[in-house]
Structures are given as C-alpha cells and as structure tokens.
Amino acid sequence: MTTPLNVAILAAGHGKRMHSALPKVLHPLAGRPLAAHIIDTARTLTPRAMVVVVGNGAERVTAALAAPDLVFVHQDPPLGTGDAARVALAAMPSDGVTLIGLADVPLAPAAGLSSIVDHARRGDVGLLTARVPDATGLGRIVRTGDGGVKAIVEDRDASPSERAIDEINTGFIAAPTALLTRWIAQLAPHNAQREYYLTDIVAMAVAEGVPVTAHIADDEREVRGVNDRAQLVFAERIIQTRKAKALLESGTWIADPQRIDVRGVLSCERDVRIDVGCVFEGIVALGEGVDIGPYCVLRDVEVGAGTEIMPFSHLTDATIGARCRIGPYARLRPGALLDDDVHVGNFVEIKTSTLGKGAKANHLAYIGDSSVGCGVNFGAGSITANYDGANKHRTIIGDNVHIGSNCVLVAPLEIGAGATIGGGSTIVKGAPGDALTLARARQISIAGWQRPVKKPKSAK
C-alpha cells in the first residue's frame, strides 16, 4: 500500500516587488491565478490532503482558489516558511509523508515533485534543486565532500564561498510527516530575517543521520520563482511557447509561435490556421479548416468547420456554425448563436441573438436580443432598438427578410417572413410578410432656399 501523501502550498507572501494591490499569488498567468498552476501540478500526485497557507489578501486568495479538495489556513503574522509549514501541518493528517512547496513557483515539474515524494516515502528528506547561472538572492545547497547534501543556506546568511555555489533550493521539500512535525517544532529565528526557515530542517535531518536526497531539475527555468512582474512575464512566455509547440505538433498552422496567447484551453481540428497576435481565453474550440486572422480575441467560443474569422474581431461566449465569415472588426457578444453560412461583416455587433442559415449583416449594424431567420439580409447602418431605458425587448425577424440601410427596428417587434423594410425606416409596429413596409417622412425640396452664412468677424 502506497504511503499517503499530504501537500502544503505556501501562499501567504506579500509580494511587495509586484507593486500591486492584488495578492501576488492571484496575478494572472496564462489566464489563471499564479498559484493555480502549482496546485494543479500537485493534484497529479493524487494527495490525500491539500492545504493552502494564506496570509496577505487571505479572503481574496481563498475565494479565487476555492475547491472541494483544498483546505485554507491563515498564517498571521507572517513569520517565515517554517512557521507557515507549522500552520499547514496542524491542519492535515499526522501520518504519511508531506510535500511542502511555494505557490509562486508555478512551473515546477510533476516528475521532479514525484521524485522527491518517492524519497520521502523511503524515509529520506527529498529536495527539488536546480543549477542556475546566477544564484543571487537564492538559497544554496551546501554539499559534503562526497556529494551528499549537508545544509541549505539562505543568500543573506551565506559566506562568500557558499555564495559561489550554483545549486539552489527551489522551495520544494518532502519528508515523513512525523519527522517534519518534530523538526519544525525545534526551529528558531537565528538568521538575518529573524524568521523561521523551513530549510533549517535539512541540517537537523543530517544531524540525525536521516538521508537528504536532491533531485536536480532538468530545466532550471521551470523552477524559477515569480517575485516581480518581469519574472511573471518570463513564466508566461514559457507557458505560451509550450502551448504553441503542442498546437504545431498537432497540425495547427501558427504564423508566429511567439505571437499567440492561449489563456485557457484551445482545441483545434485539422488544418486550422492562426495568424499573428491572436488571444484565446476560456474554452475555445476551432473546427476543421477554421482560419483566424490577425489580432483576434476569442473567449469561450465554438467555431464550426471552414469558418473564417477576419482580422481585429472580438468574440465572447458565442457559437458559430460552419462556413461563416466574421469580420474584420466584428464583435460577437455573449449569447450570439450563428448558424451555418452566416456573414457578419465589419463594425457589426451581435448580442444575445440567433442568426439563421445564410443570414447576412455585412457592415455597420447592431443586432441585439433578436431571432433572425434564414437568408435574412440586414442592411448597413440598421439596428434593433432593444432597450427602452429600463428593460430589454426582443425582435423576431422571419426567413428571407430584407432590411434596408439605416433602419431602426424598435422592439418588441415581429417582422414576417419575406418582408422588405425600406431603407431609412423606423419600424415600431409589426411588419407583414411578403410586403414592403416603409416608415419615413415624405421628401420635399424647397426652391430658392439659401444656406445660412457666417457673420463676418468684427475688426479689432
């Protein structure tokens, strides 16, 4: 039987170098809170219990990360990683092994964490370490002459020879829970920060003859902490490069892997093309042969096969059928549902509306809270006036209706199938099908009319 695993994620830091009112662990990384990434990685280890230690912005952090498998405990005041670990251990089972890690190291690899947990299950202390080109500010792994781990020394407390060491502590440690609990109870703040360092338990383990085994990360970039906005951007590019690589390997054409952002889940069928500068948020599904033009934003959108999204279009919570043409500069707002072969052109906005097969709104139009039938042509400059200042009202447009240019359809309203609405009309009552409906003032011309002229400016 596998020894049960407990996981503690330390997320109580202030993140002062972010210079933000937002708690550091909630800053977005690939569209999700920073801390959510390492929590998800920890879940792959199938822990029995997971505790998140919060401090700065505790209520916001708890609300943002809340999940059935997480227990949140509050560290107040913040007295260092050792004290945070003590608070976490008090909220989890006292047996098994415990993995402790940092919420601001979002890319720590699951394989490395699994390795140090395996060491803990054998009775050792497991450390995730890395060799870095510049270890300034980081805790150093001090080894014995035969290569065994002797201690972890924080940068502020290190001697000149220790500062020359290039192997660093990443903030992830695993050990039998009973040993961790006993060692943490013995910690003292004998350091430059006057804090309780979790890393001091390494020297305690060595003193007791408990083996300390390090797993050196294959890619040191994956175990870099995020302490400022520059480091957050660095982590973002790593994630986005990974996502772009996976899309390319699955057959998606991407114009430039350095100019795509996937801030959620993007799934692509065969022969999808994505041009530069596109952003995908939430859950986006692109059907076979979909073509996304430059600088489009898609959030929680499903796009049918063969559809073209032209440049600078913004789509949110929309469902688009096959062989549609959207944009450029189109906006689909939540609740837009487009059937196959629909055209939505430049500077057209659709909100909470359905457009039937083959319907067209090619330019300069607004369709809101409407049901638009098949084969409808919605003219340039025309709108549905769906809001009376207090409530929204619905417009129903039957199949094969032709709406002329610069029309206002004042909801609630129903226009029968086959109707034609003359350009420039303001329609306030239902229009019958298979008929021309006009609602405009009679045109007149006034002979001899003179345009007003400006009065001459008085001389100074």
Secondary structure (H, E, C), the chain: CCCCEEEEEEECCCCHHHCCCCCHHHCEECCEEHHHHHHHHHHCCCCCEEEEEEECEHHHHHHHHCCCCEEEEECCCCCCHHHHHHHHHCCCCCCCEEEEEECCCCCCCHHHHHHHHHHHHCCCEEEEEEECCCCCCCCEEEECCCCCEEEEECHHHCCHHHHCCCEEEEEEEEEEHHHHHHHHHCCCCCCCCCCCCHHHHHHHHHHCCCCEEEEECCCHHHHCCCCCHHHHHHHHHHHHHHHHHHHHHCCCEECCCCCEEEEEEEEECCCCEECCCEEEEEEEEECCCCEECCCCEEEEEEECCCCEECCCCEEEEEEECCCCEECCCCEECCCEEECCCCEEEEEEEEECCEECCCCEEEEEEEEECEEECCCCEECCCCEEECECCCCECCEEECCCCEECCCCEEECCEEECCCCEECCCCEECCCECCCCEECCCCCCCCCCCCCCCCCCCCCCC
Give the pair of three-digit tokens for residue 284. Answer: 């986006």
Pairing state of beta strands 97-102 and 5-11?
A: parallel
Amino acid identity, position 246: A
Q: Is 402 a catalytic residue?
A: no
Give the pLDDT of residue 259.
96
Tell me what pLDDT residue 459 has: 61
pLDDT number for residue 78: 86
Q: What's the pTM value of the predicted model, to 2 decimals?
A: 0.89
> Which domains are assigned to the chain?
5-223 (3.90.550.10), 229-437 (2.160.10.10)
Backbone angle region of 58, left / alpha / beta, with phi > 0 → left and psi within -120 to 50 → alpha: alpha
β-strands 167-176, 125-131 pairing? antiparallel
List of residues 6+ apart from 177 with CB closer than 8 A? 6, 89, 92, 93, 94, 95, 96, 97, 98
The pLDDT, as a whole number, for residue 460 is 58
Provide the residue-wise pLDDT of the chain in tens; the chain has 460 residues. Answer: 799 999 999 999 888 999 999 999 999 999 999 999 999 999 999 999 999 999 989 999 999 999 999 999 999 888 999 999 999 999 999 999 999 999 999 999 999 999 999 999 999 999 999 999 999 989 999 999 888 899 999 888 899 999 999 999 999 999 999 999 999 999 998 776 788 999 999 999 999 999 999 999 999 999 999 999 999 999 999 999 999 999 999 999 999 999 999 999 999 999 999 999 999 999 999 999 999 999 999 999 999 999 999 999 999 999 999 999 999 999 999 999 999 999 999 999 999 999 999 999 999 999 999 999 999 999 999 999 999 999 999 999 999 999 999 999 999 999 999 999 999 999 999 999 999 999 988 889 999 999 888 888 876 5
Read off the tokens for 326. 């959207």
d(CA 317, CA 335): 6
Residue reference for tokens 């859950």: 283
DSSP secondary-structure letter at 258? T
**Choice among 190, 215, 363, 393 that is catalytic:** 363
Closest among 266, 343, 258, 259 to 298, alpha carbons compared: 266
130 CB contacts (<8 Å, ≥6 apart)? 167, 168, 170, 216, 217, 220, 223
CA-closest candidate to residue 380, choices 395, 366, 364: 364
